[in-house]
Amino acid sequence: MTNNHVPVLIVGAGLAGTSTALFLGLHGVPSLLVERHPSTSNQPKARGQSWHTMEALSYAGVAEKMTAAGYDISLGMPIVIAQTVTGPPIHEILGEEWPDWSHLSPATMAMASQERAEPILADRARELGAELRFGTRLESFSQDANGVTAELKDLKTGEISSVTADYLVAADGWRGEIRARLGIGWHGRGDLGHAMVILFDADLDEVVKGREFALFYLQNRELSEVEGTGSFVSTDTPGRWVVVFAYDPEIRGWDSYSEAELVEKVRIAVGIADLEVKIVDRAATGIAHRIADRFSQGRVFLVGDAAHTMPPHGGQGGNTAVMDGFYLAWKLAAVVNGQAGQQLLDSYDIERRPYGDLVAGQQYSNMIFRSAPQLADGKEDPIIPPEQALLGYRYPGGAVVPEPDEDGAGVEDPAHPTGRPGSHAPHVWLPDKSSTIDLFGRSFVLLTESQAWVQAAGEVGERLGVTVKPVLLDAPGWREKYGIGAEGATLVRPDRFIAWRSVGAGTAADLEAAMRTVLAR
């Protein structure tokens, strides 16, 4: 048995785990990432990196790779509700073009699948100092005031090794055991059903002409004996597609379907009775709406599906997993590097759990609208515009300095931002064609037009041993979006959230007090 120490041990190399390792490395903290499977996912699912995710990935230097790994979004990706792929649409959610969010973000959405996204994140994590061990399972762990001790098993050799870490990140998915071992419960709608995923090849060039990349939600009672719901979606491989249909494992197992039955399911979904189909693979999955009652306990933190499991309707499950890593990593790094107090880590649960509730609730409501109207009971969340959920959410507390009139968590229209602490820093185009968003990602940033605040940032940063990068801005309308005057300043965290602002003139002592509050010092 061998023993070694790492600052952070991450269990699970999905989108959440690989992104946590990547962003920790970006902040100078090495990690050990273990995964029981022999490689990253080979499933063409969780497609799409939304605007806020691409902003974060640009800081890590992988945004261009992620864009190249997916298809060209200028081709569009219609999202259609229909009975079959060839039948008339019941409703079209997205047309042939993606919405233009250039007034809200400098980023452009990418459309890489999980199969292609995970290796990009993993490779960059290695470049930034992470160690990845595949075919390695967490056997047990314990924690105390000094750290976490874990036993890992090499599934190929059977060797057991002991690792100590300052912190453990549970990225072991919705079937993972770490949350349960901690005794953390969950809330939500619970299990919503089971689905069969069919990966197949077929010549559908004429069927999908002009819609080579598309997502169809199918309301078809012939497709599923359970609820009459399913979906059809393109993959990254030309001529290869996915059909999903609901099934009940208590009636029959997922592996009991013959190949002929799967071919018939595909034909029903497409709407062509004699379609030539080659079954490539099949898999079973579950659909659930569950949010952990706590996102952390002691030195252990939940990210991704371990923290929040949601229906896939809306495409934010994978994005939320990546962003969990982004929002957690800078806080872990600040504590590991001695720049912040331990209590900073308490803000992870305070900030991210309400957001997990929001996004999971939106995905559940989307599922009802798109494919499961029979689940409507009047208690589901009202659907809000996606730009408000992605860029307009504001934290109820946590690592921010709230203002006296702060009204708590919620969402705002990012096209009309308030600039309040706890909200996403607004995007403003700068004279050099860059954005205010491009200024963030690695350190605290102080935005101002006053030289006095530039001097204050230098003094405070030196006293606290923390980088506070001052930026003198000269861009039309930026102060209005950030809600400050000509002599004011706004402090932005590494994750683009506003930590504090001085609407008017202030002192270095004001800035230092704000930094100490945010960093729990």
Residues that are catalytic: 217
Task: Judge contact between 161 and 34, C-beta under 8 A.
Answer: no
Largest CA distance in the chain: 76
Cβ–Cβ under 8 Å, residues 420 and 426: no
The residue count for the chain: 521
Q: How far is CA 86 from CA 82, 270, 337, 354, 449, in A?
A: 9, 6, 57, 40, 58
The answer to whether 500 and 518 are in contact (CB under 8 A) is: yes
Task: Give the whole-angstrom CA distance, residue 291 versus residue 314.
Answer: 17
Structure tokens, 386: 């996606």
Token pair belonging to 442? 């690695």
Secondary structure letter of residue 4 according to DSSP: E
- CB neighbours of residue 187 within 10 Å: 12
**Phi-psi region at 48: left, alpha or beta (left = phi > 0; alpha = psi -120 to 50):** left
Strands 215-219 and 79-82: parallel
**Phi and psi (nearest 5°) for 228?**
70, 30
Closest CA to 305 of 258, 363, 262, 344: 363
Provide the CA 368 distance to its chain's centre, in angstroms.
Answer: 22
Which residues neighbour 180 within 8 Å (Cβ) at sequence distance 6 or greater?
none
| CA proximity to 62, closest of 110, 101, 16, 115 | 110
350 Cβ contact list (under 8 Å, min separation 6): 395, 396, 397, 398
CB 472 within 8 A of CB 417: no
Spatial separation of the C-alpha atoms in residues 137 and 177, rounded to whole Å: 11
CB-based burial label for 451 (10 Å; 0-12, 13-18, 19+):
exposed
Spatial CA neighbour of 268 closest among 234, 206, 218: 218
Q: What would the DSSP string read from start to end of 96-123?
A: SS----TTT-S---B---HHHHHHHHHH
Q: What is the DSSP-derived secondary structure letter of residue 382?
A: P
Which residue bears the tokens 């896939």? 312
